[in-house]
Structure 1
Amino acid sequence: MSERQPTLRERRHSETQRLIQAHAVRLFTDHGYDAVTVADVAEAAGVSAMTVYRRFPTKEDLVLIDQPAQLIAEHVAASSATQPLVRRVGSALIAAATASTGSNGGEPAANERFLRDCLRLMVSTPALRARHLDSQYVLQQAIVEALGEDASDPDAAFRAQAATSACIAAMHTALTHWVEDDGHTELPELIAQALTASFGDDIIAAHQKD
């Protein structure tokens, strides 16, 4: 069965949403997050403030990037349950970073710059750091569910949570370095390096063979 294509209305909705967010991130980067209002963003994007609020209920939502939780969870769920937990999660994180940054030949530098600008704002703005932590928790829960461990087994659930938390912490370290280094090293490679530092070479060797 072929995948359903988005309707014209859905495409226009997505385009407007991307336009608003692009202007918001540019303004926040140039003038500072606290100095820019939602009205400023609406004016720059050529839409009404109500249109902005319909798509981004809070000012923080203008910066937050939807964690590719569904994509990561799908990678995890599709992986072999015989593999170690950290290998399953780590490989999924690398695959998602590859898709998000265009490192596999997709959308190139523009995506990377936008992603780095968003991450830079999240790191430097206290209100955004708090929301970013919330999104990390949502990602963790999605991955744990995708691992498919028996929820009725407290030990299995604990192992899944511990492995996922450790992998996400390694990814966060890679993301922070990627922003500070202005993307000189590709994000998937940095995540791979962070995972190797945490768990050893085996996790990356297995990923490269897949």
Structure 2
Amino acid sequence: MTRPDRRRPGRPSVLNIRAVGADALRLWTERGFAATNWNDLAEATGISTRTLLRHFPSRAEIAWLGVAPATDRLREVLTRAADDAPVAVVVRTAIVESVSRDPQIHELAPAWLRLISAEPTLAATAPAVYQPWIDTLTGYLARRLPGAPTAICRALATAYQAATFAALTEWAESGAHGDAADSVDRMLRWLDVHTPGTVPDGPAREP
């Protein structure tokens, strides 16, 4: 996609969503989320306030842009997984694959993680934002574990989401060395032992 001309804010023919998110994140990193408004975002992105508001109901929508694509990647892997594959292995693989390996996103991820962890407004919206991700994983667990109560499947999915976020946060705070997806994989192996369908002796070993 072609990025709109930053020197002439207005109505671009094609809105580069990724560029908007990156520019907004840089602005929030410099000034703080609460200290900026839509006019500031328009100046930072080169897109008119009117156009931004047409695409994003709130500033938080911009901050959480990466979660929906991650949910789509999670769903795709779960959907194509073999029905006889170990549940825990499928879940871990799907979550790891849901973490973007895009170099640009990888570069911005530490700043994004710091932002959503430190900003109360964004932290408050996190449960609703992650709900589709949790629902997707809950549905898979319920299908593969027909005897498990729905509440258990949801609890497992919620635990996986919390562990994934913890792994990403630890990766960022330790200097963002290596691939974020690999850090998630190492963290989730500790959950294998507690998840039905784990292969023997597979839980917490280093890959």
Equivalence for 1:101: 101
CA 1:85–1:29 in 2, change beyond 3 Å: closer, same or farther? same
Displacement over 6 Å in runs of 4+ = none
Once residues 12 and 111 of structure 1 are traced to their aligned partners in structure 2, the CA distance between those partners, rounded to angstroms, is 24
CA 1:83–1:169 in 2, change beyond 3 Å: closer, same or farther? farther
Equivalence for 1:171: 164
Matched, 1:119 2:113: yes
Q: 1:65: how far off?
A: 2.8
CA 1:125–1:75 in 2, change beyond 3 Å: closer, same or farther? same
Contact 1:149–1:156 (Cα < 8 Å) also in 2:
no
TM-score of the aligned structures, taking structure 2 as reference length: 0.78
SS in 1 for 2:14: helix
More helix by share: 1
* Mapping for residues 33-182 of structure 1, pairs under 5 Å: 33-67=33-67, 68-97=70-99, 100-102=100-102, 108=103, 110-147=104-141, 149=143, 155-182=148-175
Q: 1:101: how far off?
A: 2.1
Once residues 50 and 170 of structure 2 are traced to their aligned partners in structure 1, the CA distance between those partners, rounded to angstroms, is 36
Aligned residue among 184, 187, 196 for 1:194: 187
Contact 1:76–1:92 (Cα < 8 Å) also in 2:
yes
Q: 1:14: how far off?
A: 4.2
| Amino acid of the structure 1 residue aligned with 2:61 | D
Once residues 182 and 136 of structure 2 are traced to their aligned partners in structure 1, the CA distance between those partners, rounded to angstroms, is 23
Residues matched between the structures, number: 187
CA RMSD of aligned residues (A): 2.7
Q: 1:84: how far off?
A: 3.7
Contact 2:78–2:90 (Cα < 8 Å) also in 1:
yes
SS in 2 for 1:89: helix
| Amino acid of the structure 2 residue aligned with 1:119 | L
Once residues 199 and 192 of structure 1 are traced to their aligned partners in structure 2, the CA distance between those partners, rounded to angstroms, is 11
Contact 1:69–1:143 (Cα < 8 Å) also in 2:
no
Once residues 56 and 181 of structure 1 are traced to their aligned partners in structure 2, the CA distance between those partners, rounded to angstroms, is 32
| Amino acid of the structure 2 residue aligned with 1:167 | Y
CA 1:145–1:199 in 2, change beyond 3 Å: closer, same or farther? closer
Most deviating of 129-138 and 194-203: 194-203
CA 1:156–1:150 in 2, change beyond 3 Å: closer, same or farther? farther
Equivalence for 1:105: none
Once residues 87 and 41 of structure 1 are traced to their aligned partners in structure 2, the CA distance between those partners, rounded to angstroms, is 42
Once residues 155 and 107 of structure 2 are traced to their aligned partners in structure 1, the CA distance between those partners, rounded to angstroms, is 32
Q: 1:203: how far off?
A: 5.3
Once residues 18 and 101 of structure 1 are traced to their aligned partners in structure 2, the CA distance between those partners, rounded to angstroms, is 14
Identity %: 23
What stretches of structure 2 of length at least 5 have no aligned partner?
A: 2-11, 194-200
Q: 1:145: how far off?
A: 2.3
What stretches of structure 1 of length at least 5 have no aligned partner?
A: 1-5, 103-107
Q: 1:125: how far off?
A: 0.3
Once residues 123 and 143 of structure 2 are traced to their aligned partners in structure 1, the CA distance between those partners, rounded to angstroms, is 30
Once residues 160 and 186 of structure 1 are traced to their aligned partners in structure 2, the CA distance between those partners, rounded to angstroms, is 29
Equivalence for 2:14: 13
CA 1:12–1:202 in 2, change beyond 3 Å: closer, same or farther? farther
Contact 1:69–1:139 (Cα < 8 Å) also in 2:
yes
